[in-house]
Amino acid sequence: MSIVAIGWDVRGWRGTQQAIVVLKFDKHDKKPQWWVSEDFRFEPGQSFSLFSLVSKATGTEKTPWLEQADKIVVGIDAPLAFPRAFIDLLTNNETSITPSSTEMENPLAYRDCERWIYKQFGKKPLSATFDKLGNGATLALSLAHALVQEGFQLVPQTANDADRAIIEVYPAIHKIEPRRAASAIESMHRLIPTNISVGSDQYDAAICAILAALYAGCEDDLGLPSVSGIQEGFDPAEGWIYALPADYVREY
């Protein structure tokens, strides 16, 4: 079985520090291959596609292994959905929100999955509606919608599982300290090629690619546990943040 995991460290629409890492894993020979992009930005008028992502890292148009892959998973470090209450506020004149005790509890600012991450990992995400994260979120969603036209599924918004999947991930909660310059926990850090510097955009993209590979079923091969899927009672329309179990991360 051939698995291609693509990690994207997102910046805004005009951001010049986008980074892509591609991890190809053939289960029969168990030799991972890595491709790593330089920092880049999307050019004005550029069409979005799977190739527009992968080519940033591979630097070539010849990627037959991509078309032949059994599974392709794109792990994106940006929200792939907005809070349901926020969408209702924009589309329903009868929606009414009262003040909350904290910003984290404000249903316009955060999704339930983000509150779950905050409780599990103790790290407060940025808000796609209240913070500048909305810039990257709209870019990520626009490219994700282009991938859907190529046969991908947004998981769990449109499918419970898929061999061509787009998932939301959060590299920062897999680090030993809550700083961008911190390294990932050791069991994850050891998998990342040594030519990728800790704290770089490429390093975060590599964490995204590893999480995408775990979603695709490479747990035993990478020596890591499965990522946590959507919990019972959560609304799949709000998306999910796929991550290693919090108890496992806390061990480091």
Question: How far are the Cα atoms of 89, 105, 239, 240 from residue 112, in angstroms, in the given order?
Answer: 17, 9, 9, 9
According to the model, what pLDDT value does residue 182 have?
Answer: 93
From residue 1, alpha-carbon distances to 29, 58, 65 in Å are 10, 21, 12
pLDDT of amino acid 62: 80
pLDDT at 94: 77
pLDDT tens string 120-158: 999 999 999 999 999 999 999 999 999 999 999 999 999
The confidence score (pLDDT) of residue 52 equals 92
What local confidence, expressed as pLDDT, does residue 232 receive? 95
Contact indicator for 155, 81 with CB cutoff of 8 Å? no
- 10-residue mean pLDDT series, the chain (252 residues): 96 96 87 95 94 93 88 98 94 85 95 97 96 97 98 97 98 90 96 96 98 96 96 96 96 84
Q: What is the pLDDT of residue 92?
A: 84
Write the CB contacts of 88 (distance below 8 Å, at least 6 apart in sequence).
Answer: 95
Q: How many domains does the chain have?
A: 1
CA gap 232, 183 in Å, rounded: 32
Containing structural domain, residue 203? 2-250
Nearest to 209 by CA among 3, 2, 4, 5: 5
Say if residues 243 and 228 touch (Cβ distance below 8 Å): yes
- What pLDDT is stored for residue 77 in this prediction? 98
Q: What is the pLDDT of residue 28?
A: 77
Residue 60 has a pLDDT of 82
> What pLDDT is attached to residue 131?
95
pTM to 2 decimals? 0.96
